[in-house]
Structure 1
Amino acid sequence: MVRAGVVPGRRIAGYAAAGVFLVAVVCAGTIGVFGLNRVFTGLFFGVAAAVGLLILLFGRDGVELTEAAIVRRTPWGTSTVAWDRVVAARFALDEHGRWTLALDLTDGDEPHRELVLLSIPPVHRPVAGAYDQRKREQVTEIRTMLRQRRIPVTILPEIAEALQEHWKIAPPTR
């Protein structure tokens, strides 16, 4: 199983709003019960509760590539995409200048849909920390899974060069 997925900006904003709301509710409840002198205590417990909520929400949100299917999870539901719906994969630039690894899917009436697996900043140096190492591992694991499924991968030449030079990931072979 490979864990991937990108949380969309709207959902991030919703999670942040839920966290701020939880801080306000816990703080107001603490002040209501114990008095105005417990503002900082209410803030402390509110922030702690909000951090727990955000860990729960972000931990539940993602995509899992399994041998049987692709499982998309959100905090409120789960959906499954069969591997036979995957037409191709592509590693390209998105509208924000980040590198995006996405799957192109077919769906009965809908001609094409996209499922974004990774969105990483461009690589300009060797692995420098835990974030780079984790993203390198994810790219390698996803490529291995796609290769086993014989799914064609399109990759921009500048991305392939940078991955090979800095992260020592060989370009895909046909």
Structure 2
Amino acid sequence: MAMVRAGVVPGRRMAVYAVAGLAVVGVVCAGTVGVFGLNRVFTGLFFGGAVAIALLFALFGRDGVELTEDRIVRRTPWGSSTLGWDRVVAGRFALGEKGRWSLALDLNDGSEPHHELVLLSIPPVTAPISGAYDMRKREQVNEIRNILRQKKIPVTILPEIADALQRHWKIAPPTR
């Protein structure tokens, strides 16, 4: 079984990444203007934007969750933690924040009764696949569903979500 990448970047961390990107633009632009003069403001903005985009790709690329045969790895740009599959109590596909659908794992943590690990957050499915984003999200749902099925982890899904996934994305509802 291959590794499955998932994960949702929380809003606060996304804001930190955005601030870091803007800071990089400012520093590179100021450095360019300081070395070459005021006539190079747009050059500094251009190179600052290019460096900021590279930084954002690196930050967002490192941030996520990897589901493997042996373990679950949560990664951030500054570290990672590993969870065993034995800590997963169940999975659920339900309504998340801001009307989005959320696919999450409920974890049994020693200190807390349950902890949630959000694997996927997608807008509600209301039509057949219409682009690359829809296709990738459908693949992720199928990959996560397959690994949870192999691990024999029960998944609950709201009936309206199951119906929409079956009707529009041709994903059959989970079987027991």
Q: Classify the TM-score, shorter chain.
A: over 0.9
| Aligned with 2:131 (options 126, 129, 132) | 129
CA drift of 1:115 comes to 0.1
Within 5 Å, which residues of 2 pair with 1:104-115? Answer: 104-115=106-117
Report how many aligned residue pairs link the two structures: 174
TM-score by length of 2: 0.98
The aligned residue for residue 21 of structure 2 is: 19
Q: Could you tell me which residue of structure 2 aligns to residue 147 of structure 1?
A: 149
Deviation at 1:95, TM superposition (A): 2.7
Gap regions ≥5 residues in structure 1 = none
Q: Unaligned 5+ residue runs, structure 2?
A: none
Distance apart, 1:93 and its partner CA: 0.2
Query: Which residue of structure 2 lines up, in the alignment, with residue 91 of structure 1?
Result: 93
2:60 corresponds to: 58
Task: Name which of 78, 82, 85 aligns with 2:84.
Answer: 82
CA deviation profile, 1:37-86 (whole Å, cap 9, x unmatched): 00000000000000000000000000000001000000000100100000
Aligned mates of 1:6, 1:107 — CA distance in 2:
20
Pairwise CA RMSD: 0.4
Which of 9, 28, 44 aligns to 1:7? It is 9
Secondary structure, in 3 states, of the residue corresponding to 2:75?
strand
Q: 1:32 aligns with which of 20, 31, 34?
A: 34
Structure 1 SS opposite 2:105: strand
Q: Which runs of 4+ in 1 moved over 4 A?
A: none
Letter in 1 for 2:4: V
Q: TM-score, normalised to structure 1's length?
A: 0.99
Equivalent position of 2:163 in the other structure: 161
Out of 118, 121, 132, the position equivalent to 1:119 is 121
| Equivalent-residue separation in structure 2 for 1:162 and 1:17 (angstroms) | 37
Q: Give, as a single letter, the amino acid of the residue that structure 2 aligns with 1:113.
A: H
Q: Distance in 2 between matches of 1:152 and 1:55?
A: 34
Aligned partners of 2:72, 2:151: CA distance in 1, in Å?
12
Q: How far is 1:112 from its partner?
A: 0.4
1:90 match: secondary structure = strand
Distance 1:52 1:109 in 2: 38
Counterpart secondary structure, 2:117: strand
Q: Distance in 1 between matches of 2:91 and 2:32?
A: 51
User: Following TM superposition, by how much is the alpha carbon of 1:109 offset from its aligned partner in structure 2, in angstroms?
Assistant: 1.8
